[in-house]
């Protein structure tokens, strides 16, 4: 898997990275990995802001899924931390995750194994002292093109 890495100094840098993802991958599936507090929702907020979402952006921990309609298409933000069984995703309308013009951000994707489609990009966020370290891997051809678009900022 091709990989791209970058240090993210603070929340603003994490949001800026989310905005770069919004530009690099207009539609597809992004898996977001990282411990609690690693910056997954902050990254999602940056991506959503870049797509014109002005209202509050919170992790959908209790709702599991938060849809956002934007001029560029639908963004689905999923937080599967509280998912009991991957089959529950069918009740959320998981079929829409691969609809044309849809970008899905999936926190805790391992809880949806067997039901979720493969990721175009996998983003892993970890701690690097007071900062964060982002590693991005491509799982599909669409993901490889997005990774190449992000390449100019590789560290």
pLDDT 10s digits, 133-147? 999 999 999 999 999
pLDDT category of residue 155 using cuts at 50, 70 and 90: very low
Q: Which of 155, 141, 154 is nearest to 25 (CA)?
A: 141
DSSP code at position 113 = T
* In this structure, CATH architecture of domain 3-153: 3-Layer(aba) Sandwich (3.40)
pTM over 0.75: yes
For 13-63, the pLDDT digits (tens) are: 999 999 999 999 999 999 999 888 788 889 999 999 999 998 888 778 778
Say what the pLDDT of residue 154 is. Answer: 43
In the block, residue with structure tokens 């949806």? 112
Residue 1 has pLDDT above 70, yes or no: no
| pLDDT mean across residues, the chain | 88
pLDDT value for 3: 83
Between CA 120 and CA 113 the distance in angstroms is 15
| Predicted pLDDT of residue 105 | 95
CA distance 16 to 1: 24
| CA pseudo-torsion sign 22, 27, 28, 29 | positive
Q: How far apart are CA 50 and CA 54, in angstroms?
A: 9
pLDDT for 54-105, tens place per residue? 888 877 877 888 999 999 899 999 999 888 899 988 888 888 888 899 999 9
Work out the burial of residue 54: count CB atoms within 10 Å of its CB; fewer than 13 is exposed, 13-18 middle, 19 or more buried.
exposed
Residue 2 binned pLDDT confidence (cut-offs 50, 70, 90): low
Nearest Cα to 134, choosing from 1, 10, 14, 2?
Answer: 14
Q: What is the pLDDT of residue 78?
A: 92
The residues that bridge with 74 in the sheet, in sequence order, are 69, 102
Residue 24 carries which DSSP code?
Answer: H
* Cβ neighbours, 10 Å, residue 142: 16
Q: How many CB atoms lie within 10 A of CB 69?
A: 11
Domain locations in the chain as residue ranges: 3-153
């Amino acid at each position: 898997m091709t990989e791209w890495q970058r240090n993210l100094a603070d929340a603003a840098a994490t949001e800026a990275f989310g905005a770069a993802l919004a530009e690099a991958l207009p539609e597809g599936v992004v898996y977001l990995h990282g411990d609690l507090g690693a910056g997954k929702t902050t990254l999602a907020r940056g991506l959503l802001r870049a797509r014109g979402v002005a209202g509050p952006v919170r992790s959908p921990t209790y709702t599991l899924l938060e849809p956002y309609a934007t001029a560029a298409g639908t963004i689905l933000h999923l937080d599967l931390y509280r998912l009991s069984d991957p089959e529950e995703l069918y009740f959320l309308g998981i079929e829409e995750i691969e609809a044309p013009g849809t970008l899905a951000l999936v926190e805790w994707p391992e809880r949806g194994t067997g039901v979720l489609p493969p990721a175009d990009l996998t983003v892993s966020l970890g701690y690097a002292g007071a900062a964060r370290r982002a590693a991005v891997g491509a799982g599909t051809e669409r993901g490889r093109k997005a990774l190449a678009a992000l390449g100019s900022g590789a560290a």
